[in-house]
Amino acid sequence: MLNIDEIQNGVVIDHIKAGTSRRLAEISGIDGLECGVAVLKNVRSSKSGKKDIIKIEGDVSHLNFGVIAYIDPNITINYIKNGKIVRKEKPVLPDTLINVMKCTNPRCITSIEQECDHIFKLTASGKYRCVYCEEEFQKK
Q: Would you say 57 and 90 are in contact if contact means Cβ atoms under 8 Å apart?
A: no
Tens of pLDDT, residues 82-129: 999 999 999 888 999 998 889 999 999 998 888 999 999 999 988 999
Inter-CA distances, 15 with 42, 65, 76, 130, Å: 11, 14, 6, 29
Q: Which range has the top average pLDDT, 23-32, 54-63, 70-79?
A: 70-79
Three-state secondary-structure class, residue 65: helix
**pLDDT band at residue 2, thresholds of 50, 70 and 90?**
low
Nearest of 8, 101, 7, 100 to residue 53 by alpha carbon:
7
